[in-house]
Copies of this chain bind each other. A is one copy, B any other.
């Protein structure tokens, strides 16, 4: 305690917080004493307690951090989020949503249950995220959900997934495509790849469901294949199956629910000797910068990923200020690239 040893008891607080009126002489004395004792400023933990704020916002992903950051769209969103909470002076605490393993004889693991967070941002929507939601609400902490349905009065940051995907589908329809396959993001949190009968089963994952609806508005009878995850490799694997059907049955276009999947489809198609877009049209979703994808420019829906993050940050700030934060629905922009063209013949 600088004050006890040094000079004044708690005028020091004013000096360090900088918000008080302190005479230069006193300030100097305090600072001198502080450096004497090598006191390095207020203990953030004590300040947290006193203020009732820790300056930390939790970000909850499903599964491994590694897989969450595999898709650039998440990365960009995180950048936006970091920016969005900056005015709040908050840092981002990474949290996973799976059951915290028991630490033997140690402190309980930092989970949603116990993490010193002022607010929480939930990303995506596995089944477990619903559980996470309960935890957070029980704690009475403000929550914002990105790309997921939290029901009730919980602010959502989302996209016009259905409308946007409909645009891409219409684009293909206008070009004249009739045999179209829809390549979706994972159907459930379990992430199994495979064909689905979309008229009977609904995807569990919100994003998947909404984008699928948009595509099916235009192509109600399109075949539907779910990828195991949103990566180029998963796209390649899926495309091998999709394009592997009888030549006559093979689609002339694939509507992929993410840019990574679309990139995989294109790669697989090219390896098969197909030309893009002459032999196969492919649309993506996200509009992310695909590292190393030139010379292709995906026909895709550009989503404002960074803006989504920033909006989540702002929503958190408002809730922390006691306001209610509205849900926000961002609009994706259709961008025509060079991966779509009229079907052959």
Interface residues of A (CB under 8 A from B): 38, 40-46, 48-49, 52-56, 58, 64-66, 69-70, 72, 75-76, 78-79, 82, 86-96, 101, 103, 106-110, 113-116, 138-140, 231-233, 235-236, 260, 263-264, 267, 271, 291-292, 294-295
Contacts of A78 in B (CB 8 A): 65-66, 69
Within the complex, which residue of B65, B140, B231 is in contact with A75, where a contact is CB–CB below 8 Å? B65
* Complexed CA–CA distance, A295 and B267 (Å): 10
Closest residue of chain B to A95 (Cβ to Cβ) is B91
How distant is A82 from chain B, measured CB to nearest CB, in Å? Answer: 6
Contacts of A235 in B (CB 8 A): 292
How distant is A232 from chain B, measured CB to nearest CB, in Å? Answer: 3
Contacts of A106 in B (CB 8 A): 87-89
Known: A65-B75, A94-B94, A233-B291. A89 touches B103 (CB 8 A): yes
Contacts of A267 in B (CB 8 A): 292
Closest residue of chain B to A109 (Cβ to Cβ) is B89
* Complexed CA–CA distance, A75 and B106 (Å): 27
Decide if A65 touches B87 in the complex (CB within 8 Å): no
* Complexed CA–CA distance, A43 and B110 (Å): 13
Known: A79-B64, A116-B54, A263-B292. A107 touches B88 (CB 8 A): yes
Closest residue of chain B to A136 (Cβ to Cβ) is B40
How distant is A121 from chain B, measured CB to nearest CB, in Å? Answer: 13
Contacts of A294 in B (CB 8 A): 233, 236
How distant is A183 from chain B, measured CB to nearest CB, in Å? Answer: 15
Decide if A45 touches B55 in the complex (CB within 8 Å): no
Question: What are 22 contact pairs spanning A and B, CB under 8 A?
Answer: A40-B140, A41-B114, A41-B139, A43-B49, A45-B45, A45-B48, A56-B110, A58-B91, A65-B78, A65-B92, A66-B75, A66-B78, A82-B96, A88-B106, A89-B103, A89-B110, A91-B95, A91-B115, A94-B94, A231-B292, A232-B292, A233-B294
